[in-house]
Amino acid sequence: MLTSKWVLAARRSIRSRQSVTDHYSSRSISSACINQFHTHSKAYLKDNSSRINNEAVKEVEVLDKAPRGESSAVPSSRISRLFHYGSLAAGIGMDVAAQKLSQVARGEATSNSTSWKSMILSPANIERIAKKFSQMRGAALKIGQMMSFQDEKLLPPQLYEILSKVQNNANFMPQRQLDKVMSRELGSNWESKFESFDKIPIAAASIGQVHKAVLARSREKVVVKVQYPGVKDSIDSDLNNLLLLLTASRLLPRGLFLDKTVANARKELKWECDYMREAKALQKFEELLKDDPIFKVPHVFEKLTTTNVITMGYMEGAPIMKLPSDSTTQATRDFISENILRLCLEEIAVFKYMQTDPNWANFLYNKQTHRIELLDFGASRAFPDEFINKYRKLLTFATENNRPGVAEMSKQLGYLTGLESQAMIDAHVDSVMTLGEPFAGETSQAFDFKDQTVSDRIRGNIGLMLHERLCPPPEETYSLHRKFSGIFLLCAKMGANVHCSKLFHDIFAFKD
Whole-angstrom distance, CA of residue 5 vs CA of residue 465: 51
Instruction: State whether residue 506 is helix, strand or coil.
Output: helix
Count the Cβ atoms, other than its own, within 10 Å of residue 27.
8
Long-range contacts of 402-406 (CB under 8 A, 24+ apart): 403/429, 403/433, 406/432, 406/433
Question: Which residues share a beta bridge with 106?
Answer: none
Count the Cβ atoms, other than its own, within 10 Å of residue 303.
9
- Order of strands, edge to edge, in the sheet holding 371-374? 295-296, 371-374, 363-366, 318-319
**CA neighbours closer than 13 Å in the CB half-sphere of residue 25:** 19
| DSSP secondary structure string for all residues of 446-489 | PEESTT--HHHHHHHHHHHHHHH--SPPPTHHHHHHHHHHHHHH
Radius of gyration, alpha carbons of the chain:
24
CA nearest to 72, candidates 156, 155, 174, 158: 174
Whole-angstrom distance, CA of residue 11 vs CA of residue 45: 9
CA nearest to 358, candidates 209, 492, 171, 499: 492
**506 part of the active site:** no
Q: Is 149 exposed, middle or buried (0-12, 13-18, 19+ CB in 10 A)?
A: buried
* Separation in Å, CA 239 to CA 163, 263, 463: 16, 9, 26
Catalytic: which of 238, 357, 376, 430?
A: 357
Q: Taking a C-beta distance cutoff of 8 angstroms, is the pair 196, 91 a contact?
A: no
| DSSP secondary structure string for all residues of 159-226 | HHHHHHHTTT---B--HHHHHHHHHHHH-TTGGGGEEEE-SS-SEE-SSEEEEEEEETTT--EEEEEE
Catalytic residues: 357
